[in-house]
Amino acid sequence: MQELKFSTSQTERLDEFLRRELPRAVVSIQVLRAYSTTGISNSKIRRLILAGAVQVNGRPVLRPAFELRGHSIITVRFEAERFFYEKQPDDLAFEMSDAAVLYEDENLIFVDKPADFPVEQTITGNRANLHDAVVDYLWKRQPELRNPPYVGIMHRLDRTTSGVILFTKTRAVNKEISEVFQSHILTKQYLAVVEAPRGAKGQASQFTVEMFMGRVTGKSQQGKWGQVAESRGGQYSKTDIRVLKKITVEGRHCLLIECSLHTGRTHQIRVHLASRGLPILGDELYGGYPAKRMYLHAAHLAFTLNGKKYDVKAAHFFEATNVFSRE
């Protein structure tokens, strides 16, 4: 576990301070120097703060916009291997093409993300990712540009999750898109494959899972979320779940399930399904049976922006892979 300490007497936002000072500190430490060859992204700083890894004057601060005033001592604790998150052995080799574009206009581009491919760059800058692939794709279409085109990340999918993901092509719509996601005035539907419990019937059924969620592992351990009381910092989460049909995947009797999100917490669907004894196939972190991939797929994203309706669907599981057979 690494611990870095900083002091300042300036008045400024915590995330902006760390964005400037953390890369300098990392480069100055011999044991970390090999990791850090590029700057640290704003999203990485934000997640570091939200994970509770940053203290100001001995107290945890969970707000990136927290204002430092007077003389402040900032302490940052992290595990180097997890913080820098090197390339995973099963990362997919992927090159963006027209076939991966689900919809595009002058402001937005919706992409069909493959499983086992990260959405964004890591600190070390040595890991292929979808954001860079989209930038390269758009730049190749406009070779006259001297600098790479802008591509904004508005939401994320886990590395192992496939399906619809949205990027912005202009900063002008970032605020409106952020408000859409934060207010949950949109449709987000996922498909998941779970191993059928013994005695499971074939007819469709539906139910809703609601709970307060939070991280249940230590900061130096692999991130795992679960039920946490609101009084202990848990955040409200809600998912509508509908069992669609029986299905056979990788030779196992499973259920195909549709999940509609009302909130967007980390690992929400994975935790909610596991809490009902229905862990996702391939999701070993939450008790799922080992498989070729984690079978979670962002199938549908819809919302209205400035009077224009967007309704985008990714290729169905059956179209995207040949490991399925219907019963």
How many Å apart are CA 237 and CA 181, to the nearest integer?
14
Confidence band (pLDDT; 50, 70, 90) for 324? Answer: very low
CATH ID of 2-84, from 3.90.650.10, 3.10.290.10, 3.30.420.40, 3.40.50.2300: 3.10.290.10
Domain 184-327 in CATH 3.30.2350.10? The answer is yes
Higher pLDDT, 95 or 90: 95
Tens-place pLDDT, residues 141-185: 988 888 899 999 988 898 899 999 999 999 999 999 999 988 888
Residue 123 has a pLDDT of: 52
How many Å apart are CA 35 and CA 27, to the nearest integer?
9
User: H-helix or E-strand containing 32?
Assistant: helix 30-33
Residue 282 has a pLDDT of: 94
The answer to whether 89-183 and 184-327 have equal CATH topology is yes
- Which residue matches tokens 């406009």? 142
Tokens of 123: 């600190």
Confidence band (pLDDT; 50, 70, 90) for 207? Answer: very high
Least confident interval from 17-26, 54-63, 231-240, 299-308: 17-26
CA 20-25-31 angle, to 5 degrees, is 145
How many Å apart are CA 46 and CA 65, to the nearest integer?
9
Q: How many contiguous H segments (helices) and E segments (strands) does the chain have?
A: 8, 18
Catalytic site residues? 158
Residue 75 has a pLDDT of: 93
CA distances from 218 to 59, 78, 222, 225 (A): 17, 11, 8, 10
CA 163-91-196 angle, to 5 degrees, is 55
DSSP character for 87?
P
Per CATH, which fold does 89-183 belong to? Answer: Pseudouridine synthase (3.30.2350)
CA neighbours closer than 13 Å in the CB half-sphere of residue 206: 8
Least confident interval from 21-25, 74-78, 226-230, 284-288: 21-25
Reduce the DSSP state of residue 15 to 3 states and report it: helix
Specify the pairing of strand 2-8 against strand 72-78: antiparallel
How many Å apart are CA 303 and CA 103, to the nearest integer?
13
Percent of the chain clearing pLDDT 70 (strictly above):
81
User: H-helix or E-strand containing 47?
Assistant: helix 42-50
Most distant pair of Cα atoms in the chain: their distance: 67
How many Å apart are CA 76 and CA 78, to the nearest integer?
7
- Classify 199 in phi/psi space as left (phi over 0), alpha (psi -120 to 50) or beta: left
The residue among 50, 219, 44 whose CA lies nearest residue 35 is 44
> Which amino acid belongs to residue 284?
E
How many Å apart are CA 149 and CA 95, to the nearest integer?
17
Answer whether 245's CB lies under 8 Å from 255's CB: yes
- Domain ranges for the chain: 2-84, 89-183, 184-327
Q: What is the CA radius of gyration of the chain?
A: 21
